[in-house]
Structures are given as C-alpha cells and as structure tokens.
C-alpha cells in the first residue's frame, strides 16, 4: 500500500533581506517571487513566505528563527551575499544550519549548503563582495593612465 502514499514535499522558507546585493536592492515582493519560483521549480519544494529580516538589528533574528523552525527543510536566499556580511555571524548561521540539518539554497549562484564541505565554495564567493568588485569605476589612476592610447579608443 506504500506506493499509494504521496511523498511529503519539503518546505523551504524564502529569506527576505533588503540590503543591496552588489548595488541592487530587490523589493520584498520581487524577492518573494524569485524565491518562490526557485523553491517550487528548481528544488521541488513548497514555498514558505517569511517576514523581512530586521533592518535595524544586527543579530539576524529572522534568519536564525527560520533555522530553528522544525517544519522547514531549509532556507532559500537570493544570493550568497544575502548572508550576514560579518564572517563570524555567517559562521554562526552555518553552525546552526548544519546542526539542525537545514539546507541553504542560493538562487543567483545556483548552489547550496547541505554539508560541511559546501562551506568553502560559499565563503570563496565573498571575495566578490569586496570593494574591488563592487565599487563603480569612474576615474583612472596614474598607473592606469600609462595604458592610454588613442588607437584603442572605440568611443
């Protein structure tokens, strides 16, 4: 008779954080739509809508609460950069997630944290959240000016 039982669909929360992801702020409704689409179509889970992370606190209270929630299989983020900027706070989040066996999914990067070995790949991504990659380029330094040559001017 077992084959008549429908398989339980795992539930994932969509995490909403209103900080900029490399210069782009996604409104809550857009984050909800992106997370829902990813959870439903990519992970094959059921979407759970959560509240916005507290923009005033620095304790990631909404995220920590979601990780403590027994009914959830995991949490879906727009990006790795939606995680706390502070490394020790991130490590705390990973610790809770691994202990509670929660999966963390990242939509833009299309990868996830399910086990300890997955952490390195996610942490490596934080190189690309440094100013070198996120600051707008408007001027040239003295060093860069040595490369100026009109024959390479395309505009």
Summarize as ranges the residues that interact with another protein (CB under 8 A).
Answer: 21-24, 79-81, 87, 108-109, 124-125, 127-128, 130, 132-138, 151-155
Nearer to another protein, 11 or 114 (CB): 114
CA triplet 35, 103, 68: central angle to 5 degrees?
A: 95
Gyration radius (Cα) of the chain, Å: 20
Q: At closest approach, how far in Å is the CB of 124 from another protein?
A: 7
Structure tokens at 80: 């790795």
124 closest CA partner among 139, 140, 137, 113? 113
Cβ 134 to another protein shortest distance, Å: 7
Nearer to another protein, 80 or 97 (CB): 80
Least distance from another protein to the Cβ atom of residue 109, Å: 6
How far is residue 113's CA from residue 106's CA, in Å, rounded to a whole number? 9
């Amino acid at each position: 008779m077992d084959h008549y039982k429908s398989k339980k669909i795992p539930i994932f929360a969509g995490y909403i954080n209103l900080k900029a992801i490399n210069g782009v702020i996604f409104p809550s409704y857009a984050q909800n739509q992106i997370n829902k689409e990813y959870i439903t179509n990519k992970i094959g889970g059921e979407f759970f809508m959560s509240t916005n992370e507290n923009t005033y606190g620095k304790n990631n209270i909404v995220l920590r609460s979601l990780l403590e929630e027994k009914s959830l299989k995991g949490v879906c983020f727009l990006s790795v950069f939606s995680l706390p900027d502070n490394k020790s706070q991130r490590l705390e989040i990973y610790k809770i997630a691994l202990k509670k066996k929660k999966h963390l999914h990242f939509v833009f990067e299309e990868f996830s944290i399910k086990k300890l070995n997955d952490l390195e790949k996610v942490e490596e991504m934080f190189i690309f959240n440094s100013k070198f990659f996120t600051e707008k380029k408007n001027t040239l330094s003295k060093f860069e000016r040595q490369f100026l040559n009109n024959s390479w001017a395309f505009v």
